[in-house]
């Protein structure tokens, strides 16, 4: 069980900027109702209002609804006022309280996502960069990208909000910047960063280095190569990984990459029917580890992509038209928290999709609220 109400009440002053004498609903009430609605798969504010009204008796055991059920306008307005930094801290505490796992694991995947339905003629859509614990499947923190900026300036801000000590930070090619590497090293973490053509001569040097077939064979003989083969959906996918820690030659023309200890290459080969396709990618890294560590970093990075995919598939986030950027940010936080709890909660059947789990909760709301919050009322 999670002690939701204690956590919210302890931080109420920092979370809630409203004047107490003007409020009809405690912040814990609003957050609980929105969280519960999202947990049951309710996607928009008007549907939340309907869901709360249809389940007023059950929800009234947990929060004070003596003033009636809040309207959709009230729900959205209050969520737009909540301090997003304090809400991030609340989310972390609640997820950690439901898990025996440590708060930080080895791999921290960073990636951005745009909430496309949030745009109109007067504002660009909200773009949120998330740091994701790839092993525990928990989003560690997130920041919104300023309207006139991009991920490159947002990522250092994000890194400063989390403990990256003894962690390996993975970022796609956009985040392969010397300033971001400096921030990771300052935080006593390591990095594994993708390198593409936008890095100019760095990309050219690494790709040329790995282009020699005889050299790749030597790496294999030294144990600096590994391969995985997967068969699924009528295709065979072979993933090859190579690393080289001989980078003295690379440090000289590229001295700004701090703590550079190795470079890597991946080659994905997909065979389907009679066709074969290949994709080759290059990386730089700072950790002391084996080629298996490198493979784990590369594969693990896609967990944050999976999170963003789930937000669109399970919650249709790209279609949500919450225009208030703070409300959209906070709603994104609660959705991520819901995805985590949907993963760890108990259901009567195994291997249920997130959508099916939401249906169970919406139909048997009392049982699942008791599982999360204990019996009330």
Residue 165 lies inside a defined structural domain of this protein? yes
Using pLDDT thresholds of 50, 70 and 90, give the confidence band for residue 377: low
Residue 99 lies inside a defined structural domain of this protein? no
State the pLDDT at residue 274: 82
Residue 351 lies inside a defined structural domain of this protein? yes
Which pLDDT tens digit goes with each residue over 161-171? 999 998 999 99
Which pLDDT tens digit goes with each residue over 84-97? 988 888 888 888 77
State the pLDDT at residue 21: 72
Which pLDDT tens digit goes with each residue over 216-263? 999 999 999 999 998 877 789 999 999 999 999 998 888 999 999 999
Domain end (from 271, 295, 313): 313
How high does pLDDT run on average in the chain? 90
**Region 52-64 average pLDDT:** 95
Min mean pLDDT across 170-179, 238-247, 316-325, 345-354 is at 316-325
Instruction: Kindly tell me if the per-residue pLDDT of 343 is higher than 80.
Output: yes
Residue 18 lies inside a defined structural domain of this protein? yes
Clarify whether residues 114 and 78 are in a common domain.
no
Clarify whether residues 56 and 173 are in a common domain.
no
Residue 324 lies inside a defined structural domain of this protein? no
**Region 266-287 average pLDDT:** 93
Min mean pLDDT across 59-73, 143-157, 253-267, 282-296 is at 143-157
State the pLDDT at residue 179: 95
Percent of the chain beyond pLDDT 70? 97
Residue 27 lies inside a defined structural domain of this protein? yes
- Structural domain boundaries, residue 78: 4-82+345-373
Assign 3-class secondary structure to the chain.
Answer: CCCHHHHHHHCHHHHCCCCHHHCCCCHHHHHHHHHHHHHCCCCCHHHHHHHHHHCHHHHCCCCCCCCCCCCHHHHHHHHCCCCHHHHHHHHHHHHHHCCCCCCCCCEEEEEEEEEHHHCECCECCEEEEEEEECCCCEEEEEEECCCCCCHHHHHHHHHCCCCCCCCEEEECHHHCCHHHHHHHHHCCCEEEEEECHHHCHHHHHHHHHCCCHHHHHHHHHCCCEEEEEEEECCEEEEEEEEEECCCHHHHCCCCCCCCCCEEEEEEEEEEECCEEEEEEEEEEECCCCCHHHHHHHHHHHHHHHHHHHHHHHHHCHHHCCCCCHHHHHHHHHHHHHHHHHHHHCCCCCCCCCHHHHHHHHHHCHHHHHHHHHCCCC
Which pLDDT tens digit goes with each residue over 23-32? 889 899 999 9
State the pLDDT at residue 119: 81
State the pLDDT at residue 216: 95
Clarify whether residues 124 and 43 are in a common domain.
no
State the pLDDT at residue 1: 57
Domain end (from 261, 296, 313): 313
Which pLDDT tens digit goes with each residue over 98-148? 665 554 448 999 999 999 888 877 888 899 999 999 888 889 999 999 877
Min mean pLDDT across 7-21, 247-261, 313-327 is at 7-21
How many structural domains is the chain composed of? 2
State the pLDDT at residue 301: 94
């Amino acid at each position: 069980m999670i002690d939701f109400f204690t956590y919210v009440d302890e931080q109420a002053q920092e979370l809630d900027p409203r004047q107490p004498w003007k409020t009809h609903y405690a912040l814990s009430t609003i957050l609980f109702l929105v969280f519960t609605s999202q947990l049951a798969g309710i996607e928009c504010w008007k549907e939340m209002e309907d869901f709360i009204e249809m389940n007023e008796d059950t929800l009234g055991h947990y929060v004070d609804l003596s003033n009636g059920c809040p309207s959709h306008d009230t729900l959205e307005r209050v969520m737009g006022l909540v301090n997003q930094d304090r809400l991030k801290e609340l989310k972390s505490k609640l997820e950690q309280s439901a898990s025996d796992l440590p708060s930080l694991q080895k791999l921290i995947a960073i990636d951005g996502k745009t909430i496309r339905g949030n745009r109109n003629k007067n504002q660009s859509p909200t773009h949120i960069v998330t740091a994701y614990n790839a092993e525990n499947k928990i989003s560690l923190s997130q920041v919104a990208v300023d309207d006139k900026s991009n991920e490159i300036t947002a990522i250092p801000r994000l890194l400063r909000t989390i403990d990256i000590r003894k962690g390996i930070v993975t970022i796609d090619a956009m985040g392969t910047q010397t300033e971001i590497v400096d921030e990771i090293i300052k935080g006593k973490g390591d990095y594994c960063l993708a390198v593409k053509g936008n890095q100019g001569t760095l990309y050219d040097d690494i790709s040329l280095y790995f282009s020699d077939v005889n050299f790749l064979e030597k790496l294999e003989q030294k144990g600096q190569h590994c391969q995985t083969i997967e068969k699924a959906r009528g295709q065979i996918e072979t993933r090859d990984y190579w690393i080289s820690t001989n980078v003295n030659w690379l440090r000289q023309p590229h001295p700004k990459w701090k703590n550079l200890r190795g470079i890597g290459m991946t080659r994905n080969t997909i065979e389907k029917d009679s066709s074969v396709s290949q994709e080759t990618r290059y990386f730089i890294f700072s950790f002391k580890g084996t080629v298996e560590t490198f493979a784990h970093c590369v594969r693990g990075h896609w967990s944050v992509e999976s999170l963003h995919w789930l937000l669109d598939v399970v919650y249709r986030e790209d279609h949500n038209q919450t225009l208030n950027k703070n409300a959209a940010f906070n709603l994104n936080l609660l959705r991520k928290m819901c995805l985590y709890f949907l993963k760890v909660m108990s259901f009567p059947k195994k291997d249920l999709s997130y959508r099916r789990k939401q249906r169970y909760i919406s139909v048997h709301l009392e049982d699942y609220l008791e599982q999360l919050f204990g019996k009330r009322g």
